Amino acid sequence: MASPTSRSQGFFYMHPRNRFWPVMEALFADPDDPADRVGASVQSRRAFALRHHIALWDAIESCDIRHASDASIRNVVPSDLAPIITGSRVNHIYTCGAKATALYHRYCEPDLAAQGIPLPATALPSTSPAYAAATLDDLIATYRARIDWNAYRTPVVDGAGRRPTHRI
């Protein structure tokens, strides 16, 4: 579930100390284009995600949560990802953090498989400032190593007519 800051701003990873957007910029921004940067606003981050074909969604639609504590999550209502994925170019799910990974595997993955939409999923470490064990450079290196860049950069049309590319 998104942080209180992200929930209040209505977009993903908006806490100023969350390292998600710096990681995305390090991985996807064109180093030769000074305009290809994440920025701090919802609008600039949304534009960056769209420009680089990064789809973002939460594994849970709603829950009871105290502040930003993953350990306090109760009464989970999972997100219905099928309508989002069907007709899209998403062909791989990346989860950000242990709790998101657990929630995806518990709720979303079985639902997608039951609807004939089995997607591979790769766990990525949390970018939360609470996960201080990893530096920004560590996160960038881990994300870079776990993303299937060949599939991301060279999409092909699958049997369902989707043009799959990886999404984070």
pLDDT, tens digit, 9 for 90 and up, residues 26-55: 999 999 999 999 999 999 999 999 999 898
CB atoms within 10 A of CB 126: 22
Tokens of 162: 């989707």
Task: Give 41-91 pLDDT, tens digit per residue.
Answer: 999 999 999 999 898 988 888 877 776 667 777 788 888 999 989 988 888
Tokens of 106: 């518990």
What is the residue-averaged pLDDT of the chain?
83
Assign residue 5 a region (left: φ > 0; alpha: ψ between -120 and 50; beta: otherwise).
alpha
**If DSSP codes are grouped into helix, strand and coil, which group holds residue 88?**
coil
pLDDT reading at 163 higher than 60: no
* Cα dihedral 116, 121, 126, 127 sign: negative
pLDDT reading at 7 higher than 70: no
* Cα dihedral 88, 48, 150, 154 sign: positive
